[in-house]
Structure 1
Amino acid sequence: MTTISPTRVSMYDFLYHDTQPMLSLLADAAQLSLPQARLAMDASLQAIVSALLAYQQRHQGQAISKKLFGRSAVKELRQYNSMNFATISATLYHRHDAADAIFNDSARVIKASDHIAAQMSATTQQAQILLTSLCVIVLRELAILAEYSQLDSDEINKWFALQPQFLSAARFGTDSALSSEAEKENSDGINDTTAEPVSEHSDIDSEDTTERRLLNTEQLSSTPPIFDIHWYELTGFKPENYEPTQDMQLATGNYLKAIGRSPDNLPQGRHNDMLVFAEMPAIALPHQRWLLQLAKISDIYLSRNRLRLNSEPANPPKPPLVSLGLIGGNSDNTPATTSEKPIEYEASTPLWKNPVILIIILVVGVLGALATFKYQSQQLDNALIANQESFDKGTTEDHHQQDVAIVRVDDADTSTDGDADASNKAE
């Protein structure tokens, strides 16, 4: 079996890894240092994901597919396949429209920007530029992921319903929670120290300490920071207890069958090539085909690192393809369960045995024969009429010729008669 991390279907984890290569571009656009931009990106992603979950609660998956993923800004941005100045310029042009659509209110965008700016010691305007720019990028990336995975409205709703468990504190573990609390205490201590009057050297030391804190290895690790539930209150999202139910009929045939097999007979057939979700604390995912396909496409998409700084490629990359055998194939000789049996389709009927085809041919033949017979009849009638008219015309001409008398006079008779007349006159 081939295991895949459950976080591949987590929007928060996917966006965290996907947007890392464009850190420098966003920092330049918002005029922030790289450590500040990293903190602002983490907080902005949390705010955007929370706002998307709240949007789904209000409008459901069909509205997400049409009104968010189908926006003109997303379509325009999808024409770019790399991050560069042209891409970031288009992002900055559409950022306000996308942010207002996600947060459903421009006032919430300002409140979120204020909260983010307070965390990284920056202005609200700087935080707002980065937050709103990320809104466009997030919509673009999620729209591509949903399209490549061929998710319909119902599957989008199920996908969003799985997200709160990836944002819960239990998912990150106690160690991360303790380190976060310690980091917060250090941050409070630094803020308290800098609040008192200090010299220039103290200010420089404080800034260096802050930079080192912002560049903490934990902030740049593969695991995203702990989700701040403050964003639930700001965006109006109400987390519900969602217990994913396993489709036992589907799971029995494709996944549960491999449980209990020894390493000796496991490689038999294609069980070792089957794609399943790995175990993860506090995460429960149903082994459904569309979810596994989404996870695999997400994994392929992240491996391409498409948001790295680069010039636009001459040929756009092809959409990732996932083999159906990888997510549900089974070719060994073990008995198949009901869910494993392939759908048996009836053999196609030959054309000469198909009654519909025969009826069509018969109707066409009869109509053709009738048309031919009618055409021949019309030709024969026309020929008879033409012959009758010709006969009548010939009869009329003969009648006129019989009424005309033709008299022929010989030349000798004419001359004799002339001489006789002359001699009579002389006498």
Structure 2
Amino acid sequence: MTTISPTRVSMYDFLYQDTQPMISLLADTAKLSLPQVQLALGSSLQAIVTALLAYQELNQGSVVSKKLFSRSAVKELRKYNSMNFATIDATLYYRNDVIETVFGNSARITEASEYIATQIQATTSQVQTLLACLCIIVLRELAILVDYSKLDNEEVEKWFDLQPQFLSKQRFAVSLPDDSTALVTDLATTPPVFDPYWYKLMNFEPKLGTQTQDMQQATPNYLKAIGRVGDTSPEGQHDDMLVFAQMPAIALPHQRWLLQLAKICDIYLSRKRLRITSEPLEAPTRPLVSLGFMDTNKDNTPTTTSEKPIEYDKPRPLWKDPALVLTILVIAVLGALALLKYQIKQSNSVVPTTEAVLEQKASEQRVQQDVAIVKIDEENSATNGH
């Protein structure tokens, strides 16, 4: 059984780790020092995520998908596959329109910028530039995750509903249990503790305690539901089944789309797509989900996306395609037979041709001899006549 950290579906955790590679570029854009941006990053993302939650609560998931994730500014920014001056120029071009849409009004933007500026000893203008740039980048990253995970409007709605528990005081207050070794790597860059001030500024009331942990993840019913067999299968057959690891103060329903989203987030973070570099010649491949069974036992239950870690599509070697190999063999055998038949036909046609030539030469020789005999007889007759 393979576990994945619940924080992979946390917008705040994901974005904090995702934006780390571009801190120096943000510092240059906002005319801030690296320590200032590092300190401001957590608060800025908290403000943006809270603003998005308030927007979703007011407009629902369908509007979030259509009005935010499908904006022309987001589509334009998705053309870039790395961070550089060209990317940041596009970000700066659309920043004001996007941040005003997300935050609702300019007064909130100003108040948020002033609040962060006092924390890092910077000007409000500098922080507002940073906040606006991050706002459009956040929309771009979340839109990519929704696209790659193929989330519909209802699933986007549920994903947003899960977010407040990742911002709760209880989540940051508890320590990891002794048996949570698998989570240590995932939580190595845990973001700063969430500041409830942002709830007040955005007029957002979190709904906590509504999610329940699905404890069927180790039961035959759950295994059956996700395309696995029951506990009676041989030991070791389920080692690669993907499930969420237990995490204090976090409860997640185990829908397969949520596990798929978590794995795609994990792959996306491993690529470090926001690192500062020149634009690649070819865009990275999209993460795709394999629907094959992980174990060797035969089971008639349907395969699902949560059954196997997400892999990239790889071309199948030609020599592993039985149909192609059989076709090549048939063509080779038929070609050999045709060549053999042609050679036999050629060898048979040589003999009669040679015999015909010899017969023709013999006939010509007999004709020449007859002519010579006739001439001799004519000369003898003339002599005798005299």
Same fold (TM over 0.5): yes
Matched, 1:322 2:292: no
| Matched ranges for 1:175-194 at <5 A | none
Matched, 1:267 2:225: no
**Cα distance 1:259–1:45, how it changes in 2: closer, same or farther (>3 A)?**
farther
Is the 8 Å Cα contact of residues 227 and 302 (structure 2) preserved in structure 1? no
Q: Report what 1:50 is aligned to.
A: 50
Is the 8 Å Cα contact of residues 18 and 305 (structure 1) preserved in structure 2? yes
Is the 8 Å Cα contact of residues 165 and 171 (structure 1) preserved in structure 2? yes
Q: Distance in 2 between matches of 1:171 and 1:153?
A: 27
Report how far residue 257 of structure 1 moved.
7.5
Across the aligned residues of Structure 1 and Structure 2, the Cα RMSD in angstroms comes to: 2.6
Amino acid at match of 1:293: Q
Report how far residue 244 of structure 1 moved.
3.6
Matched, 1:251 2:218: no
Q: Report what 1:62 is aligned to.
A: 62
| Matched ranges for 1:299-338 at <5 A | 299-325=266-292, 332-333=297-298
Q: Distance in 2 between matches of 1:297 and 1:280?
A: 20
Is the 8 Å Cα contact of residues 145 and 261 (structure 2) preserved in structure 1? yes
Q: Distance in 2 between matches of 1:252 and 1:158?
A: 23
What secondary structure is seen at the aligned counterpart in 2 of 1:3?
A: strand
Q: Report what 1:12 is aligned to.
A: 12
Is the 8 Å Cα contact of residues 7 and 14 (structure 2) preserved in structure 1? yes
Amino acid at match of 1:97: D
Q: Report what 2:198 is aligned to.
A: 231
Report how far residue 250 of structure 1 moved.
6.7
Report how far residue 17 of structure 1 moved.
0.5
Report how far residue 77 of structure 1 moved.
0.4
**Cα distance 1:302–1:250, how it changes in 2: closer, same or farther (>3 A)?**
farther
Q: Deviations over 1:19-46 (max 9, x none)?
A: 0000001111111110101111111000
What secondary structure is seen at the aligned counterpart in 2 of 1:320?
A: coil
**Cα distance 1:223–1:247, how it changes in 2: closer, same or farther (>3 A)?**
closer
| Matched ranges for 1:89-104 at <5 A | 89-104=89-104
Q: Distance in 1 between matches of 2:274 and 2:232?
A: 42
**Cα distance 1:333–1:141, how it changes in 2: closer, same or farther (>3 A)?**
same
Report how far residue 322 of structure 1 moved.
2.1
Amino acid at match of 1:286: P
Q: Report what 2:339 is aligned to.
A: none
Is the 8 Å Cα contact of residues 6 and 285 (structure 1) preserved in structure 2? yes
| Matched ranges for 1:70-219 at <5 A | 70-174=70-174
Report how far residue 272 of structure 1 moved.
1.4
**Cα distance 1:4–1:229, how it changes in 2: closer, same or farther (>3 A)?**
same
**Cα distance 1:288–1:35, how it changes in 2: closer, same or farther (>3 A)?**
same
Q: Report what 2:327 is aligned to.
A: none
| Matched ranges for 1:355-366 at <5 A | none
Q: Report what 1:294 is aligned to.
A: 261
Is the 8 Å Cα contact of residues 226 and 256 (structure 2) preserved in structure 1? no
Q: Report what 2:338 is aligned to.
A: none
Q: Distance in 2 between matches of 1:238 and 1:250?
A: 36
Q: Distance in 1 between matches of 2:115 and 2:291?
A: 45
What secondary structure is seen at the aligned counterpart in 1 of 2:280?
A: coil
What secondary structure is seen at the aligned counterpart in 2 of 1:65?
A: helix
**Cα distance 1:256–1:70, how it changes in 2: closer, same or farther (>3 A)?**
closer
Amino acid at match of 1:110: T
Q: Deviations over 1:310-348 (max 9, x none)?
A: 00000011111122347xx665357x7xxx4679xxxxx
TM-score (norm 1): 0.64
Is the 8 Å Cα contact of residues 251 and 287 (structure 1) preserved in structure 2? no
**Cα distance 1:288–1:247, how it changes in 2: closer, same or farther (>3 A)?**
farther
Q: Report what 1:282 is aligned to.
A: 249
Q: Distance in 2 between matches of 1:16 and 1:229?
A: 18
Q: Report what 1:3 is aligned to.
A: 3
Count the aligned residue pairs. Answer: 290
What secondary structure is seen at the aligned counterpart in 2 of 1:87?
A: helix
Stretches of structure 1 lacking an aligned partner (at least 5 in a row) = 177-219, 344-427
Amino acid at match of 1:277: F
**Cα distance 1:247–1:161, how it changes in 2: closer, same or farther (>3 A)?**
farther
TM-score (norm 2): 0.70
Q: Distance in 2 between matches of 1:41 and 1:278?
A: 27
**Cα distance 1:160–1:40, how it changes in 2: closer, same or farther (>3 A)?**
same
Q: Deviations over 1:54-89 (max 9, x none)?
A: 011000000000000011110110000000000011
Report how far residue 252 of structure 1 moved.
4.8
Report how far residue 260 of structure 1 moved.
7.2
**Cα distance 1:287–1:330, how it changes in 2: closer, same or farther (>3 A)?**
farther
Q: Deviations over 1:335-384 (max 9, x none)?
A: x7xxx4679xxxxxxxxxxxxxxxxxxxxxxxxxxxxxxxxxxxxxxxxx
**Cα distance 1:66–1:225, how it changes in 2: closer, same or farther (>3 A)?**
same
Q: Report what 1:25 is aligned to.
A: 25
- Percent identical pairs in the alignment equals 61
**Cα distance 1:149–1:250, how it changes in 2: closer, same or farther (>3 A)?**
farther
Amino acid at match of 1:278: A
Q: Distance in 2 between matches of 1:168 and 1:342?
A: 35
Q: Deviations over 1:290-325 (max 9, x none)?
A: 101101111000100000000000001111112234
Is the 8 Å Cα contact of residues 83 and 278 (structure 2) preserved in structure 1? yes
